[in-house]
Amino acid sequence: MIAFIFPGQGSQKVGMGTDLAAASSHAREVFQEVDDALGQNLSKIMAEGPEDQLTLTENAQPAIMANAIATLRVLEKEGGVTLADKGAFVAGHSLGEYTALCAAGAFSLADTARLLKLRGQAMQAAVPVGEGAMAALLGADLEKAQALCDAAAEGEVCQVANDNDPGQVVISGHKGAIERAAGMVKDHGIKRGILLPVSAPFHCSLMQPAADAMAAALADCPPQAFTVPIYANVTAAAVTDPAEEQRLLVEQVTGRVRWRESVLAMQAAGVTRFVEVGGKVLGPMVRKIAPDCTATSVVTMDDIEALAKEL
């Protein structure tokens, strides 16, 4: 069984999608549709930068989605590999959950772009710049990370945001608490704590205003039926009901991304192969979490052609 997975924030880079757009009209159509939906030339920012514009959360989120959906569309239209036929499940890391839903037909491409633009804006607006932070803990498991958060909080928010793989957990919260935590890693048997270059503290309780904004947006534009079940970030379990998924997307803004558990749950459900579409971030994580499974990252035309031959 195959699961198609979609990357989250941090996988953006200037030049993303350029070669694909040059090689395929199907990719160009996706980028044009996203530009039209947003009323901005996002594809130009993706292709040419400047980097600080692409890194802005409100641009990075729809850009990463557009790149992944363009890759998938080329795979489907030119490679003859359709997600509905080949995929048993879909999942995405944070914003990638929206990409996965778009890929499975729950949202139109235009609606997905608009929802992610809004999500990015709402997340950025939830906490004034400089008040929040995130840090990656290397050589940490969930238990060690939780103990560190409890020790560093001192009345501030300091929470586990992403349980990525067996050796990497990301924490999020008030800047002071996250900096304290990064300085205390050795006391908790953790190799390193690296402050992340992010503009807001995602996936913690400080994001509640953004969760409220997404609740309103999703009430106006709810997910429709999807072709394959999705593994939700906040439950690490398969979802088939659009109304349940709508509720979980709201929870996801403040909730933990249970990526490690999601991969293990998909493996337990019979998945032996993971195909990461539009990035090279999740494949290496999957290999650490589920070494018995195959993980392929598909980004270029060569990747697409190679995968189409295999599947």
- Tens of pLDDT, residue by residue over 178-215, are 999 999 999 999 999 999 988 899 999 999 999 999 99
CA distances to 4, 22, 58, 164, 292 from 238, rounded to whole Å, are 13, 36, 28, 18, 21
**The pLDDT of residue 224 is above 90:** yes
CA distance 157 to 150: 9
The pLDDT assigned to 199 comes to: 80
Residue 75 tokens read as: 């795979």
CA–CA separation, 58 and 245 (whole Å): 22
Instruction: Please name every residue paired with 133 in a beta bridge, in sequence order, or none if there are none.
Output: 173
Tokens representing 133 are: 């932070």
Position 279, amino acid: G
Q: Which of 11, 24, 43, 94 is catalytic?
A: 94
Return the CATH number of the domain spanning residue range 132-198: 3.30.70.250
Look-up of token digits 């607006």: 125
Find the helix or strand (DSSP H, E) in which 107 lies. Answer: none
Query: How confident is the model at residue 264, as a pLDDT?
Result: 98
Question: Does residue 9 register a pLDDT over 90?
Answer: no
- Type of residue numbered 91: A
Strand 273-277 relative to strand 192-195, pairing: unpaired
Give 39-69 pLDDT, tens digit per residue: 999 999 999 999 999 988 999 999 999 999 9
For residue 11, indicate whether it is catalytic.
no
DSSP symbol at 159: E
Tokens in use for 36? 């039209």
Q: Are 204 and 211 in contact (CB under 8 A)?
A: no
Contact 132, 148 (CB under 8 A): no
What is the model's pLDDT at position 140? 96
Which pLDDT does position 11 carry in this prediction?
84
Query: Using N-to-C axis directions, what is the helix angle for 109-126 and 25-38, rounded to 10°?
Result: 50
Alpha carbons 251 and 170: distance in angstroms, whole number = 18
Residue tagged active-site, from 24, 203, 262, 297:
203
Look at the block and give the residue holding tokens 């293990």.
264
Specify which residues 294 forms β-bridges with.
Answer: 273
Region class of 137: left (phi > 0), else alpha (psi between -120 and 50), else beta = beta
In sequence order, the β-bridge partners of residue 122 are none
Instruction: Name residue 168's amino acid.
Output: Q
Q: Tokens for 219?
A: 């009430």
Whether the full predicted model's pTM is greater than 0.95, yes or no, is yes
Residue 273 pLDDT more than 90? yes
CB 185 within 8 A of CB 137: yes
Q: What is the per-residue pLDDT for 198? A: 83
Q: In the CATH scheme, what is the code of domain 2-126+206-310? A: 3.40.366.10
Domain ranges of the chain: 2-126+206-310, 132-198
What pLDDT sits at residue 129?
85
Q: Per-residue confidence at 10, pLDDT binned at 50, 70, 90?
A: confident
pLDDT at 165: 96
The pair phi, psi for residue 63, each rounded to 5°, is -65, -45
pLDDT reading at 287 higher than 90: yes
CB atoms within 10 A of CB 268: 9
Backbone angles phi, psi at 30, to 5 degrees: -60, -50
User: Average of pLDDT values for 23-42?
Assistant: 98
Q: Do 218 and 251 contact (CB within 8 A), yes or no?
A: no
Copy the structure tokens of residue 25: 């009209």
Whether 174 sits among the annotated catalytic residues: the reply is no
- Report CA torsion sign: 140, 141, 142, 144: negative
**Per-residue pLDDT tens over the stretch 83-124:** 999 999 999 999 999 999 999 999 999 999 999 999 999 999
Q: Is the pLDDT of residue 13 over 90?
A: yes
